[in-house]
Chain A
């Protein structure tokens, strides 16, 4: 953690909102992208991000310098995102008719607005569907590692589990996606190696 960041944290802890804003601005693009990777659409990613930021603001006093502010904030937003995913799944299990007028937007996963699509890197539908087959934690680890290049030890802090567990999530996610990819495009899949022997 650099001196400037320390200074901002101290000022924010003393009630300086602009310092807190500045800390958020140093991290917001990446954290929003992580939230998008977990949630699958920008509207839910934005909700998770903002709830996470407000939560971080309220809990700033509890921040200790045993991890970077960035890692700490990412962890809070990831928690929000995972909780939101759980809530959404629970809502989806209920009858859609029971939901409020405003809820259908929440349920339209991956229904990005044209503007969002405009700025979204294109993942094919098949790959998106494959990503949806991953558990929330597998997807989170995969997004953090594959798309954002975090080290496994950083991810362990972010999702609050052991590094070995992170590895297992990564192995499972990678295997599932490879298998899906193989099913999606058998002609492109690498074949099992064979040995030909003469008897």
Chain B
């Protein structure tokens, strides 16, 4: 028996144009006919669908009305400054400073507040206790420095206060947990989860209570972006680590109920880090094999195949 590679001689570029609906009707019909009979062409088309699953056919950023409004105001000001056209030749140099000025201003403000309110170690302890116990204290910013491992949380108080500590400090992890669970502003919740994600990059094991809080976020958080970031953070935490039973149950539920394919994909990835022995998980994977997203279908298929291989190997032993 001999196996040989089969290269389709059909025009592959036609398939790309077919995929992007750029072929004239007559050629399109020819390509459609070809796809039905040529397995290689079908595979090529499937690979384009995989590409679509990885890079969605939507803009790479969504702009909120608020952001757009700020940009419009700044642009209108620049247009007004640029008029009359011939008499303002230097207006452009100021233009590129605008966004940077806004960003730099916020950084300077933070430094200013820090300079004013840096506290003694005792005061820091007191502040930890105060903010851990308070559900009302609203966070204005959370920063993490990957080089030093220091987390800085800024609170919007009558007297703005900033707390800094190493990520391995349980108290700062506690504040991050509260930020995830109690902050009204979704941006603060998102910053908290991103900090957890980045901290894990330094191989700092998070407190179990924090991991549990993240699982709770998956259950109760309305914001899809935050749920997705939480899954990403959990994925980075669980590299080489099995997923706990409670989290596994939550993930199985997400795999079958989440509308966002990006979330389902992250949930599946996290699930496949865990032991595949559970019948419940296998059943979820069987369902995922029918998912609308081809990435998820393939990933589920691969996980099931892996499970079957392992089972057979164990039987042989």
Contact = CB atoms under 8 A, between A and B. Distances in A.
Interface string A133-167: 00000000001011111011000000000000001
Given A58-B85, A114-B190, A188 B298 contact: yes
User: In which size bucket is the chain B interface?
Assistant: 35 or more
B60 A123 contact: yes
A155 to B, nearest CB: 10
Given A187-B298, A190-B43, A147 B13 contact: no
Given A57-B85, A170-B20, A187-B298, A17 B60 contact: no
Give the dominant DSSP class at B's interface: helix
A195 B4 contact: yes
A84 to B, nearest CB: 9
B6 A192 contact: yes
A159 to B, nearest CB: 16
A127 B283 CA distance: 30
A57 B79 contact: yes
Interface in B48-73: 48, 50-52, 54-64, 67-68, 71-72
Interface in B84-99: 84-85, 91-92, 95-96, 98-99
Contacts of B17: 167
Given A54-B78, A57-B85, A102 B100 contact: yes
A58 B82 contact: yes
27 contacts: A20-B79, A24-B72, A28-B71, A33-B63, A36-B61, A46-B99, A54-B79, A57-B83, A58-B82, A114-B187, A118-B225, A119-B61, A119-B67, A120-B62, A122-B262, A123-B55, A127-B54, A147-B60, A148-B59, A170-B16, A178-B48, A181-B47, A187-B298, A189-B50, A192-B40, A193-B6, A193-B39
Interface of B: 1-8, 13, 16-17, 20, 22, 39-40, 43-44, 46-48, 50-52, 54-64, 67-68, 71-72, 74-76, 78-80, 82-85, 91-92, 95-96, 98-100, 103-104, 142, 186-187, 190-191, 194, 225, 228-229, 262, 295, 298-299, 302
* List of 7 A-B pairs having minimum Cβ-Cβ separation, nearest first: A33-B59, A190-B43, A36-B61, A188-B298, A114-B191, A193-B40, A195-B6
